[in-house]
Amino acid sequence: MKPKILVTRAVFPEIIELLSGHFEVESNQADEVYGEQELRRRLQGKDGLFSNPTDRVSAELLAGAPGLKAVCNMAVGYNNIDVAAATAAGVMVTNTPDVLNETTADLGWALLMAAARRVTESEHYLRGGLWKKWSYDGFLGADVYGSTLGIVGMGRIGQAIARRSIGFDMKVVYHNRSRLSAEQEAYANNAQYLSKEELLRSADHVVLVLPYSPASHHTIGAAELALMKPTATLVNIARGGIVDDAALIDALKKGTIAAAGLDVFENEPAFNPGFLELKNVALTPHIGSASRPTRMAMASTAAKNLIAAMSGAVPPNLLNPEVLAKRGGHV
Ligand code: GLV
């Protein structure tokens, strides 16, 4: 008998086909967003879960699914999963690192350019029929080339963002939980390690790429925004909750900083409507990894993790290897 799995959201049909070769698959190609009760109900009797960042995999949910062996998230971020509770319950958890680094770094740059050079704001002006004459001071923005780029969270995506800055003749400063090796710093456009406060004071543009956890909640709030230059741009491609969105709206209104580029929001998709009243913000709906090849690579990585986990192998992207001891050394 094939193991039973639940795929919580719509995914490429090729992936459903791949999974169906190994599992009895309950899929959701209609792409409903399951609430907690519905997810709990559908998880009954399942051996594996192919999850998405929109699913909250809590201790309660895990307790209600005693047969579950693995949760394979189709995302690099896994703050939607209570990993400690999964470990305690003997459930393997995996994510999809690496395959999205470059695509997500590209979007960070797109938002930085759009916000600093007022691309979306001026497009709205043009689309609104307001463009009647060229003027010397129309939509003056901040230069990106030759400026100082501050990166908070210098993991694989942060380093990919830093490498792109070489072509813009930029200086890179970064802050991270731990300092990179000398080789990694050299490869990341000779990035210089600074404290968060020093970085916020000295950078012309700040990009946030750190993982969300209770420790990184509101890494950027009113006090941190006050340290930034009034000409600075803030880009968040990490997770909602890393920035205090109400404080950011206030700072953008008052001119504490010049502009922001945001792909993620607190309580998304129900983001703070205050952003819509601002011109100096470029907004995208959590599309950091959204290129077809990258989303396909993420889906296929999640599927491979699930196939490995169910077949007795250690999944390539296991986040909680301690679970193996808990499972008596058996996957
Ligand atoms: C998307 O946000 C991800 O974590 O992969």
Identify the residue whose tokens are 């913000």.
281
Q: What is the pLDDT of residue 329?
A: 58
| Residue 268 bears catalytic tag | yes
What's the pLDDT at 326?
79
Angle at 165 between CA 164 and CA 168, to 5 degrees: 120
Residue 324 main-chain phi, psi, to 5 deg: -65, -40
* pLDDT at 136 > cutoff 90: yes
- Whether 72 and 18 have beta carbons less than 8 Å apart is answered as no
How far away, in angstroms, is 150 Cα from ligand 1 center? 21
Task: Quote the ligand 1 centre to 163 CA distance (angstroms).
Answer: 21
Looking at ligand 1, which residue's alpha carbon is closest to its atom 4?
77
- Global pTM value: 0.96
What superfamily does domain 101-283 belong to in CATH?
NAD(P)-binding Rossmann-like Domain (3.40.50.720)
**Is the minimum distance from the CB of 240 to ligand 1 under 6 angstroms?**
no
The question of whether 322 is a catalytic residue gets the answer no
Query: Could you say which of 9, 118, 286, 295 is catalytic?
Result: 286
Per-residue pLDDT, averaged over 139-145, amounts to 98
User: Catalytic site residue 239?
Assistant: yes
In the chain, where the domains are located: 4-97+292-326, 101-283
Equal fold, 4-97+292-326 vs 101-283: yes
Residue 218 is given by DSSP the state T
Q: Cα–Cα distances in Å, from 61 out to 57, 306, 321?
A: 6, 19, 21
**Residue 180 DSSP label:** P
Residue 184 gets the label, from left (phi > 0), alpha (psi -120 to 50) or beta, of alpha
Structure tokens belonging to residue 279: 């011109």
Compute the distance from residue 136 Cα to the ligand 1 centre, in Å. Answer: 41
Q: What is the pLDDT of residues 147-206, one digit of tens each?
A: 999 999 999 999 999 999 999 999 999 999 999 999 999 999 999 999 999 999 999 999
Expressed in angstroms and rounded, the spacing between residue 264 Cα and the centre of ligand 1 is 10
Catalytic residue among 268, 277, 295, 322: 268
Region 4-97+292-326: CATH code: 3.40.50.720
